[in-house]
Amino acid sequence: MIDYSRFISHVAKSIKASEIRELLALIRGRKDIISFAGGIPDPVLFPRKELAKIAGVVIEKYGDNALQYSETKGIIEVRETLSDFLARKREIHVDAEDIIVTSGSQSGLDIVSRTLIDPGDIVVTESPSYLAALGAFKMNGARLIGVKVDEHGMRTDLLEDRLKQLGDDVRRVKFIYVIPVGQNPAGTTMDKDRKKHLLEIASRYDLLVVEDDPYSYIIYEEGAEVASLKSMDKEGRVIYMSTVSKILAPGLRIGWIAAEKELIRRFEIVKQYVDLHSPTLNQFIVAEAIKTGVIDDVVSRAVPYYKAKRDTMLKAIQENFPEYVWYTKPIGGLFVFAYVHKPGFDAGALLEKAVKQYKVAYVPGGSFHPEGDGVNSMRINFSYPSHEQIREGIARLGRMIREA
């Protein structure tokens, strides 16, 4: 027998399997368990017919080019379409040369990390923050500092304190990573003053900002303040990334980064060695889906659809959770986040019991907190379960919390 562990790198040994994926694998196909653990779109929103048609059109229209290797940075027509899309949807005015197409935002996070982080550098994130981003930063050797979020987004007053406390080490901070709208996992949205403050701090300390923006296209409250940081950025500090995962189909694995040309060029060189380029056919499909209004159509169906589920969830929580649970009321995105303020409550330790005894699953919040706190928290997804499952599942979860 070969002892493979000798061959495994320190980095690979140091990272833990994603709790979410392990858990989802465990309960997949179990009809008796109601799961709030996923973060995936409801497939009823996938525009199957339209995509089938578009795929045919693309192959016909672009011929072999649609099936061939393509430019690392992304197909020029696709980047031009994305440039229009960003201007129209997010008031981000960049030209095609300021955009690189990535294999989903996850690959964008990896490329940004590889390009910017040296082992021992510091990345400041929200706390809690997106688990797989924290993983990508750590895999590239970053030390993480987590700054609490409240219902107005990252507490930029605390950000400033933390940077001050770093002293000379502040030079090791490379960027501040934020998900300003419909945050995963917290479900919070950053308000305008906080955004301004964040950019002002980044400028004063000479730091970059990575803005991860998958959810701003799905907003439940009209007139909500969701301007992108990138649209407010006058100094070229913001590296913006987004994806079609929540507004078309995650299986396409198409995302993009918009940033200053000089940075895009660096990302491009790194990407050459990561995956050569993102799937050519899928890039053409995404561009066509934008141009023909298919994405707009998905968004206009997704907003009321998820909003109704969010409302069902918030109502069920209000009726079933004890008063010592604090939870977020998202205006966008797919998640509610809850802190159970009861001494000794450990959402991770209780998960097995939740699944086995109460037949309900969630993601324990601890691993979303870069500095090891938040064991009393959980992420609860409302995009995937049905209304009936939401009502019943939240009742089960409420029972579990009371009886814990």
Per CB under 6 A, residues contacting ligand PMP are 39, 104-106, 130, 179, 184, 212, 214, 243, 245, 250, 255
In the complex, minimum distance from the CB of residue 83 to ligand PMP, in angstroms, rounded to a whole number: 19
* Dist CA 182 CA 244 (whole Å): 15
In the complex, minimum distance from the CB of residue 187 to ligand PMP, in angstroms, rounded to a whole number: 11
* Dist CA 259 CA 265 (whole Å): 10
In the complex, minimum distance from the CB of residue 212 to ligand PMP, in angstroms, rounded to a whole number: 5
Crossing angle (nearest 10°) for helices 131-139 and 104-116: 30
Dihedral of the alpha carbons of 268, 185, 198, 233, in degrees to the nearest 10: 40
Q: Pick the closer one to ligand PMP by CB: 186 or 325.
A: 186
In the complex, minimum distance from the CB of residue 6 to ligand PMP, in angstroms, rounded to a whole number: 32
In the complex, minimum distance from the CB of residue 51 to ligand PMP, in angstroms, rounded to a whole number: 16
Report yes or no: 301 and 309 within 8 Å, Cβ to Cβ: no
Q: Pick the closer one to ligand PMP by CB: 229 or 401.
A: 229
Query: Parallel, antiparallel, or unpaired for β 335-340 and 325-327?
Result: antiparallel
In the complex, minimum distance from the CB of residue 265 to ligand PMP, in angstroms, rounded to a whole number: 22
Q: Pick the closer one to ligand PMP by CB: 245 or 283.
A: 245
Residue among 41, 46, 28 nearest 309 (CA): 41
Residue among 234, 153, 163, 165 nearest 199 (CA): 234
Q: Pick the closer one to ligand PMP by CB: 214 or 393.
A: 214
Q: Pick the closer one to ligand PMP by CB: 217 or 321.
A: 217
Q: Pick the closer one to ligand PMP by CB: 214 or 398.
A: 214
Q: Pick the closer one to ligand PMP by CB: 146 or 250.
A: 250
